[in-house]
Amino acid sequence: APGDPVRYVVIDDEPRYRTGLGAPSEPDSGLVLDQVGGYPDVESFLAFHRAPCHVVVLDLCLNRRTGDLAVLHGVRAVRRITGDLGQRVLVHTADARPEPVARCVAAGAAGYVSKYHDDPKLLVTAVVETARHGRVQSPALTDAVLQLARRCRDVRLSDTLEATLALLGHGLTDAEIARRRQLSVRTIADHKRKILEL
């Protein structure tokens, strides 16, 4: 509701990422972020977390695991948190390869933000957007979708969706894209949903 803080939890095996995100990127909005939990692994989160939250920020590769087995573990975690608990998950990881991105989104993640390649302020914006609208399109996610679309001959975006994706790739917000394309912000949000469903 208006005036309520955005409550989020961070699951990351690296302690420095479990600290608070700070102020939102739009300080005049009156929006407050409230971290209500930080856990080193999914098992701890499932066992101990009881406070309500809007977003779970999840590192993909936990417990010092790497490679495809770590990705598989992360995808299972996304499915469990979104499916069993009905929580919105925002993946925050260093792995920006297109396949893990696609697998996390297919498993139900609302977005995917790179720890190293995206603007650090983007995580704050992504948490807020995920809480507000349910999905976020970050540069890492946009790039991954573009790479996968180029590789897959049987996946073709419509001209309308491709135009929106190209503008997302330039870092424009939904409102900026809507103005530029003379569409509503709700239509751009619908484009993002359709892109993620491909």
- pLDDT band for position 57 (50/70/90)? very high
**Mean pLDDT, range 143-171, rounded to an integer:** 69
Q: What is the pTM of this model?
A: 0.69
Phi/psi at 89 (5° precision)? -115, 130
Count how many Cα atoms sit within 13 Å of the Cα of residue 65 in the half-sphere of its side chain.
16
pLDDT, tens only, 18-48:
887 765 555 555 678 888 999 998 889 988 8
User: Is residue 155 predicted with pLDDT exceeding 60?
Assistant: no
Instruction: State the sign of the Cα–Cα–Cα–Cα dihedral 124, 129, 134, 135.
Output: negative
pLDDT of residue 56: 93
pLDDT, tens only, 169-189:
777 788 888 998 899 988 988
